[in-house]
Structure 1
Amino acid sequence: MLERIQLLRNIGQFDSVNAGAQLPFARLTLIYAENGRGKTTLASILRSLSTGSANLIFERHRLGTANPPHIVLGVTAGVVQFQNGAWAAPMPEIAIFDDAFVAANVCSGVEIDAGHRQNLHELILGSQGVVLNAALREHVQRIEEHNRALTQKNIAIPTVARGGMTVDDFCALPTNPDIDAAIEAAERNLAAGQSVEAIRQREAFQALSLPAFAPDALNELLARTLPDLEAEAATRIRNHLRNLGNGGETWVADGMGLVEEASNEHDHRACPFCAQDLAGSDLIAHYQAYFSDAYRGLRNAISEIGENINTMHGGDITATFEHAVHIAKENQAFWNAFTEIPEVLIDTTFVLECWIAARDAVLTTLRTKAAAPLEHMELSVGSLTAIRAYGACRDDVIALSNALQATNPTIAFVKQQAAAANLAALAADLTRLQAIRTRYSDPISGLCQDYLDEKAAKTVTENLRSQARATLDNYRQNTFPAYEAAINTYLQRFNAGFRLASVNPVNNRGGSSCNYNVVINNVPVALLADAGPAFRNTLSAGDRNTLALAFFFASLDQDPQLDQKIVVIDDPMTSLDEHRSLTTVQEMRRLLMRVHQVIVLSHSKPFLCQLWDGADTAARQAILIHREGTGSNLAAWDVNQDCITEHDRRHALVSAYLHAADPMTERRVAAALRHILEAFMRVAYPAPFPPGTLLGPFLGICLQRVGQLNQILSQVDIDEVRAILAYANRFHHDTNPAYELAAINDQELSHFCGRVLAFTKRG
């Protein structure tokens, strides 16, 4: 879309104009200027942009200026410039109706010559067919360029990088964000397939374990004494045993066990060492209580725990652990080649040091307890520290063992896969994954993208070629009959009073041209005639301009890309009769709904005001070309200040009918009633009834406010408006599809005319 005129320099009436940069164009853009101010110059600029012809610009080089024309236009895609004698790129989507169109396709004066008919042929067939044929040739040539480029870009991708694949297959490889992990897995799968026998024989991970120490149980044992022994006797015995030195308690305890045996040969209890009678020794009684069954049980418990610790923490146990760790490391190294296996990071030397330190500390304490079973003891701080250090090592070993054993199901799956492996398929998978990594690595990735971009561009061009060929063939077969029908449709809409017939292509030595007859009062009139009726003496200037406008609109209808067109119409009312003004406006409104943008230039304010009135307020813009010094400049145009209001016309029409009924105007009168009400409400209640609001929703707001402080209309007024609308809506297309057929009764119409005028006089 043309968005703005940013600069006009040294062309026509424009010296150095940049005011247009602040005037954005819209889907409907109206440009008003008096004759001679620069409308035709703007049309020529846009025609030059459409065709790429620089002569159209140079022909309008501003007189008296040395520097060449410079034009900057803002468009949707950015900016287009005419500089250094050329446009950067033409915009063929611009279609222009102006004097040049009339002179080229109808006649340049009053006569039609061969050139006009050739141009009309191009307009009917050539403007589409020639363009399409040129586009077809361009697409074919472009495809050849694509093929040459594809060959070069094919060669640029090394064969060794493709791994034996074709360029198309190689470039089409899908991306894989986890390609390194996928390759690693594929390598493991292939390695597993190649090592099936070794995998079959290799065992899964066995549990690693270390025996634990129970410090709480040890402390409980170390704290045990003989609670039933009298405190005084226990004290005497401990003092006596202490005097005996190390091992004294054990020596006495063993001796007490021999008393019975030593007394067998005597009639008294005899000392096992000297055979003296023990009856007189009160210490012996204390010894018997001290070294009772409970004492022996305590000593046995101490001895049993010591033996258990020696069994669980001594001998070959440490060597067995070291061997198990060694086996685990070997298994980890083996299985890690086929799946992810946690690393075996166990420092067996450190573990053994902690283990032995804890074991020796416990055994030393037990030996001390065994030497003095009745002494209350507990593990020292050093012993507990050694046990905790060993416990930490044991926890690490258990955690690693669990992690290793957790991989056993995966190892089983590896064994199963290896047993059924297809080495060729695994190797192919690995090769393909390696190709994918290469495909998306620099610089190969860029080379492939260049190739794919070129290939995609070729596909687009091939589609365009096919479309152009099909469209061209279709136009050659169907265009002329369809165009004749379209022209006559527009001539009828324009109230032309004539039509065309026998619109046919003609082949001659000068090339193809078009022939047709003008039919007036059902009488065919030839284009050329030496005498009698002919084109030159039967059609007025207005008729010829109307015919040209019909040619233009019909040519737009044949355009398959009509919705992309930017249509520029320069002074369509030139030489047009007044009775064709409204129909021309109507056709332009229809056209606006079908094209991308419409730009209308005219010296007729009433005509432009008709176009402005009723257009979408968000999609319209008005610009004024005005005199400034010796040249012209652009400015915003306040159309509303220049437009004649339709409300005044409608009000006068209804008043006149009420005064004297006119059957010729009664339908227009009926249609005007609702518009008069809307115009009155717009002025009387601008806040609640802004532009764009319909009467129905407005009355709904009024009804909600009845009886409130912000009341708009009373209930009586609301009822009156609704009653009038019930009648007036019968004559509007948006409320009655058959509005043109709605019956009109003069008495009824006069009644509602009076009610409307009476209502709008209030306040």
Structure 2
Amino acid sequence: MNNNIKGGVNIFEKVISIKNFGRFIDCTPAFDGFAEYTLIFGENGMGKTTFSTLFNSLKSEKPSYIKAKATLGDFGDPKIELLFNDNNRIYFEEGEWSESYFNLEVFNEIFVNKRVYIGDRVEIDQRKALYNFVLGEEGVDLSQDLAIIKKKSRRSKNRKENVKEIIQEKIKGSLNFEQFLDLKSIENVNKMILLQYDKLKRVYENEDIQSKEKLIELNLEKIPFGKIKNRLEETIEDISENAKEKVEEHIYENLDSEGEEWIFKGMEYVSEEEVCPFCGVNLEISELYNLYEDYFSEEFANLEKDIKKIKQNISEMVSDKRWQEINHIIQQNQSKYDFWHNYIDFEAKMLDLDIAIQDLENLKESLIEDIETKQHNLLKQKKFNEKTFEFISLFLDLNKRVREYNSEIKQINKFIEETKKETGEADLNVEIEFFNFLLNTKLRFESPVKELCFLYNGWKRKRDKLEAKKEQLQEEIEEYTKEMLDNYQEKTNEFLGKFGADFKIDKVRKSFRGDSPNIKYKISLNEVPCDLKPSEDGYESCFGNILSSGDKTTLALAFYLAKLEKDENLDKKILVFDDPISSFDKDRITRTVKEIVKYSEKAKQLILLSHYKGFLWEVYNKILRKSDNSDQEIESVKIARDGSSNRKFDNWDIEKDTEGEFLSDYRKLYNYYNNSSVNPFVARTKIRSLLENLLLYCFPTNFKRTDTLGDMLAKIKDSPKECKISVLKGDIYEELDDLNEYSITGHSSGGSQSRDIDEIELEDKVDKALSLVDNMYPRL
């Protein structure tokens, strides 16, 4: 073998062994090995497709292709050992390859089923696989990079959304997530929340607030102690000493301590006629009455009146009724304050007068006593006693406390007015929103939400970068894909034209199903585009019902070759074809031969498998006829039976096995004549068939394939002079007739008479037959 074929690298040289793989139970090939061009013949069912599948698995690193074709029965796991040049061995053992080999392009049923169609349908999986095939390694790398980025982006999005969901569950009110993230920290937010809570509470209870009254100030009258003191100490200097003495003496002698007041009161009943109200005596003549008038002057009357009023006022101002009124107001204020205290920020000290009132009540009698003493003796000066001064001190202190109390009431009422106004003007929805805003602000910057937001922003930044990279890569892929698909459609249709197909592909474009891109296209027949999928009713034209089996295989092969046309690394590839001419007519087979030879010359190596010897011969012959292939090695191999179940690779003489009947007969007679290695009976029977084919090839328009040598001799004998076969009359005719008679005798005698053949005579007849062939070609 030539070990330096096309650079001598990446060449598949030999199958060392194949075990438990389909029909190859224990295969140790007997032939020399693989060459730059290796043509493998195998009848149907011998294991050609199984063998080609080996290369699919090796390229894709998918052990499943091997495992799926493991030999049925108790034979163990598949084991494969392959040899590449430079003694590089690759093994398949224990369910995996020892290494991969990517420089392979395989056309077999896996290519067709995976990338083009299965049955009568073109499914999404085929379109995805075709997309990757068309775009090649660079396009697939870009698509894989994009798929990885999309996967990472999805993962980042999912993680981001998971964090977002956790955070969103905690957000209050209508604030959206992005607004929540953008919140700024607020100093004293806790205090603001409390204040807003109070306000919101007030707004909620606005009806109660508006209807609730303010507090009432206490009205504790001032007692004019100075005036009282002055009046008690006051005397009336204008009364005559005589009148004073006489009246006081009269009171002393005739009346009691209430006498002065009693007389003063009685004088009010004296009429204008100055008649005594008791006895009706005229008082003008009464000396004592005159003394009374002098004694009880206007000034005296005023003083008496004032003292009386003072006593009355003190009795009213310092009375149980008055204390009850004040206490009632205090209790009302306390009740109101208890309500308002929930809405205003003011701490008030409510007034408690029980002790003070009790003390005042206890000391009040001292003041009353001083007043009454004065009342009984208006002309006598009366000073406050010690307890009265205590009473005054207590009352003034109480008055001070009331003023302080009223001052607080005013402040409270001011807050109440402000609260009523604020609450009455407030919008409940606005206040709720602001309250939620404060709560969200607090939440945003507290653990664990603070950390979750940091985590979310991290995933968001990562996804944003991935999305930007994804968009950039998508643009690159779009540009690359458009160029590739436009060119691929053109090239595929070019090959369909070469194969004589009356259809083409149209509207080739990229599509997406999820994250995986695929190729969409239509089949155009008579300029009418048809869908790949059948319609629901099955009546519309589609891939499955407008293309024959041969058309579908043609389309698959056109797809494959269009890819090879644009493959810049084709010179590094091993091309593997498994029966690419299924259901092809003679014309398409011829065109296929031309294209396979063309691309195999550009590739590193060709491995071609087929059940059709004539197709392999045409490829073989075309390779040999190429002037630049004259020094290249071609290996022909066959897959043969090795026992009842096993298969093996063996040497195959393609030239001998594919020669026609004429050449085969000639070779057998030639060999018999020169070395007698052929059975004499076989040699005698081949004389007649050799001559029949000779005449048919030389005069195809004059003879039929069904004509026997006797029929042909009759046509020669009866042919007119102007007929071409008339040239055979004469000596040639006589020799042909003699050989026909001899061969007829051989046919009729049967195989059992072969031992009675006269071999000297047979050699003479064989020599004449070979001479006729040698002589007729130059003459004709």
TM-score normalised by L of structure 1: 0.41
TM-score normalised by L of structure 2: 0.40
